[in-house]
Structure 1
Amino acid sequence: MINTKHKDRLFCFLFGREENKRWTLSLYNAVNHSFHTDPDSIQITTMEDILYMGMKNDVSFIITDIMSIYEQQATYNPNMPVRELMYACKPLGEYAWLIQRIREYSKHKDIEEAVDQAIDELPEDFEIRPFLVGHRAEVKSMCITEYNEEETMLLFKEQGREEGREEGIGIGEQNRANEMAERMIRAKEPGDKIVLYTGLGKEDVNKLAGSLNTILVWNTVVE
């Protein structure tokens, strides 16, 4: 499966590069209902090569002395009519088409094959097609990185859950041992027997006995 954040890297690659400022301007106009026509009025400020696991650098640029920062949304936002945006910004709609194909194909293929097939099937009239075909290796590398990061993050989460389960089991066993020791202390059982039956240390048993205002008898023969 593709990262549920989808292609943050690919989004920045398409809309945050100097050679693609016309697409950045189209996106800006669609979001802001504006009608700017000069791509050179945009100053790209997206920072490259600072992408870390679980983090991303959004598309950022300056136009009319105002900085704009855009990120690719993976979740539904009722305040952002996505279909309307994709209609107003053709490259965005084409990008969404590509991501959808990659997600579908990656269910049955490895991620590299899925990206290859999606790029190969880009319609000839897509504006982003020549750019993606020409940068195929970079696009695949980005998608593979996203995929590998997701796998690694899932592994970290699973390890955390497993450690939590083990810790929970350990706490449960400790609580049961303490409960048994308390019952045996109240029953006036000797300390050696409590240690033998509960697995608790002598110091722990003595602490429990002290909390119950009881002095234990030790060094008895345990049957």
Structure 2
Amino acid sequence: MSKQNTLQKNETSKLHVNLNHKDSLFRMIFNDKKDLLELYNAINGTAHTHIEDLTLFTLEDAIYISYKNDISFLFDESLSLYEHQSTLNPNMPLRGFIYFARNYEAYIKLRHLDIHSSVLQKIPLPRYIVFYNGTTDTPERRTLYLSDAFSAHPGQKGCLQCEATLLNINYGKNQALMKHCRKLGEYAFFIHSIRSHTAHGKSLENAVSAAVDECIQKHILEDFLVKHRAEVENMVLSSFDQENHDRILKEYYEQKGIEKGKILTEIQLIQRMISKNLPLDTLSQFFEESALNTSQITEAIQQHPEMDESQIYALLYESLSGEEKDI
């Protein structure tokens, strides 16, 4: 057994899957190392066959509960991060930067690298791919840059950069890639089938069931869907429901001109004042232009002391929007 393979087996025993987030269908499909290696080869134009050298590298993230990534793994002296997105997110390079920093921190500890040494410490090459299958039209391939977020200094790259390669994996897109990775092409067809059935008037639940039947009949993801049908249907329904929920809240925020950063600051301040038993009426002027008032935030904090500011923010605006989910 190679030294790298031995290391990777040791790493596996020290790393754990994040159980704080529902698994995604994309991650579930590519949880099999054989399929993941095929996807890696298709993206990088390689023909590797040593599956035993591929190690899933998922952080134990009790500390990073607000962050999650779909798939990260070590292979071919590279640290690959694969993210699946159903909505366009220009902040993926920033998220990737955070993910890679955490992963490299774990890698350094596992390899016992001495970053204070006078000898150069070697680390895996980062590879960052975002698989997009939302309904917004976008090129088959584009690169997103962290430096685009440096708004205060346009045109200046600074000392940091993180690049995310976004691949449009909607059905009919990136056909060369789909040809070299059968599971990716079949996944694209499955999502396309769901959308086609909803476009023809079926409810989401019936559309998912019909798409599963169609794919099984056409031998698309057949074994996977037969074995995991109930789990897949529940997962897809939950995923599509969450997409719609996020869209409703986003539209509501934009209509009201709500600035998330400002609200989070307000929540943090009230949390600190409550913990120190300070009078909240001194904040009246600070909250004069807030989308929420002091009492609303205070009540939410007191009812849910276990929640962090981001969770309280989501809870408040979910109730404030008063919108019904409409798939």
Contact 1:111 1:143 in 2 (8 A): no
Aligned to 2:132: 73
**What 5-or-longer segments of structure 2 have no aligned partner?**
1-22, 84-130, 143-166, 168-172, 259-327
TM value normalised by structure 2: 0.41
What does 1:6-155 correspond to in 2, within 5 Å?
9-15=24-30, 17=31, 20-46=32-58, 57-71=69-83, 72-74=131-133, 75-78=138-141, 82-107=174-199, 108-123=201-216, 126=219, 128-155=221-248
Name the SS of the counterpart of 1:70 in structure 2. Answer: strand
**What 5-or-longer segments of structure 1 have no aligned partner?**
1-7, 166-223
Name the SS of the counterpart of 1:62 in structure 2. Answer: strand
What does 1:156-171 correspond to in 2, within 5 Å?
156-164=249-257
**1:34-81: CA deviation from partner (whole Å, max 9, x where unpaired):** 11113222112356999x99x762222111232111232234233557
Q: Which fold has the larger relative contact order, with Cα–Cα distance below 8 Å and residues 6 or more apart in sequence?
A: 1
Name the SS of the counterpart of 2:79 in structure 1. Answer: strand
1-structure distance, mates of 2:255, 2:41: 48
Contact 1:42 1:61 in 2 (8 A): yes
TM value normalised by structure 1: 0.58
* Aligned length, in residue pairs: 154
Larger relative helix fraction: 1
Compute the displacement of 1:150 (Å). 2.3
2-structure distance, mates of 1:40, 1:149: 36
Q: Which has the larger radius of gyration?
A: 1
Contact 2:42 2:177 in 1 (8 A): yes
